[in-house]
Chains A and B, each alone.
Chain A
């Protein structure tokens, strides 16, 4: 099930708007179409099934309560949903920071899990543009940006994992973000 085609995006927008009008059927359909994507996002960050299930549950109860505030002119439904689930997952990571003391096995796991680029046919135009801009970054910096996005790690955690000083990690990421912004606005 793809959430990247323009038609599917439109349909998700419609379902989220209907959910905002207390339409339970639309909410159930929205869950059916988006929950596996959001669960993938949570699982990738939290690396724990039951923690990811809890965050997914929290995400959708928030969706039901806040859907009325969704504005399709500002963001697409899928961006809105993924953002919500990422924010909840990151909040949870920060709450449990002391339990996440980095150990080398975690780092290796994170590196092994570097996702391979998805098949072209299944990705959006926006993804293609972003990927091109990421490709233009230094490999080490690109990897740090991707790891930050996928794992929700802090600057400190990223620096520890990559065995570089905190200041170095900050400047890698900040420089990358500035480069991405310029590249994406070309």
Chain B
């Protein structure tokens, strides 16, 4: 352990290092010493204890929320528990391994998914939208969102009955730091509508507003653009569109038409 008597010029270098006055080369030399010798490490630690209380004078400044988002993205951490979607009853929908598998086998996804859907127990469809109950059989739609390279970026599955969409990454290409993928719904002949920011490394589950749900269909498409981490600041895509996908319907097309009509009717009732 150093005593004041031991602390000569060498020790002053450690103090200068901690204070921060050394130029790049001298700094690097001390940093190297700290890594390799215990004496240097101890001397530097001692000076840190002495001088660091000065930082109590520095005013705290809250960083923008996107800094934490970038850190999480960099480290590929899970979303914080507070923001994590509520876990619902375990079922096929919540089986992420299945979705991930579907995402990887994206070319086969439509076939595989439809096979899954038709094997689910289904009730008889009511004859009219008026009498449709909330427990009406579900309609599904799917979209394989392909990148310009031809490689599938994501697979989107839309559950009309539960008004949600799950977007599973297949092989999305890397984005520059500070950028994130945003999913858009493009109605035929219409402007893109923002759906949500999606993840590149984990499935994203999105609740669909009735107005958005009503626009889903074989004439609409999904697209992914490169945006700032917090999303497009303008409400329209601002970066390059890196992937696109057509939406295909579930086995019973009629089923869809009725479902969408029911959703439209419900939305219309709500807005009155």
User: In whole angstroms, what is the CA distance A91 to B34 when docked?
Assistant: 16
Cβ–Cβ contact A148 & B50, under 8 A: no
Q: Is B175's beta carbon under 8 Å from chain A?
A: no
Instruction: Tell me, rounded to whole Å, the shortest Cβ–Cβ distance linking A177 to chain B.
Output: 4
User: How does the 8 Å CB contact mask read for A83-117 relative to B, with 1 for contact and 0 for none?
Assistant: 10011001100110100000000000000000111
Q: List residues of B (1-55) whose CB comes within 8 Å of A's CBs.
A: 4, 7, 12, 15-16, 18-24, 27, 31, 45, 48-55
Cβ–Cβ contact B4 & A31, under 8 A: no
Cβ–Cβ contact B68 & A115, under 8 A: no
User: In whole angstroms, what is the CA distance A94 to B21 when docked?
Assistant: 10
Residues on A facing B (Cβ under 8 Å): 1, 4, 24-25, 27-28, 31, 35-37, 39-41, 43-44, 52-53, 56-57, 60-61, 64, 74-75, 79, 82-83, 86-87, 90-91, 94-95, 97, 115-118, 122-124, 126-127, 129-130, 145-146, 148-150, 152-156, 158, 173-174, 177-178, 180-182, 184-185
A-B contact count (CB 8 A): 142
Cβ–Cβ contact A152 & B57, under 8 A: no
Top-5 shortest CB links A-B: A36-B60, A127-B53, A94-B24, A115-B57, A126-B53
Contact for A154 among B18, B23, B48, B81, CB less than 8 A: B23
Instruction: Label chain A's interface by main secondary structure.
Output: helix
Q: From B9, which residue of chain A is reached at the shortest CB distance?
A: A174
Contacts of A39 in B (CB 8 A): 60-63, 67
- Assess A182 versus B60: contact at CB under 8 Å? Given A152-B20, A173-B21: no
Cβ–Cβ contact A148 & B61, under 8 A: no
Instruction: Tell me, rounded to whole Å, the shortest Cβ–Cβ distance linking A125 to chain B.
Output: 9
- Assess A24 versus B78: contact at CB under 8 Å? Given A35-B67, A146-B54: yes
User: In whole angstroms, what is the CA distance A131 to B23 when docked?
Assistant: 26
Contacts of A83 in B (CB 8 A): 18, 48, 52
Cβ–Cβ contact B23 & A115, under 8 A: no
Which of B69-77, B96-104, B234-242 sits within the interface?
Answer: B69-77
Contacts of B60 in A (CB 8 A): 1, 36-37, 39-40
Cβ–Cβ contact A178 & B21, under 8 A: no
Contact for A173 among B16, B27, B74, CB less than 8 A: B16
User: In whole angstroms, what is the CA distance A148 to B21 when docked?
Assistant: 6
Instruction: Tell me, rounded to whole Å, the shortest Cβ–Cβ distance linking B30 to chain A.
Output: 11
Contacts of A146 in B (CB 8 A): 54
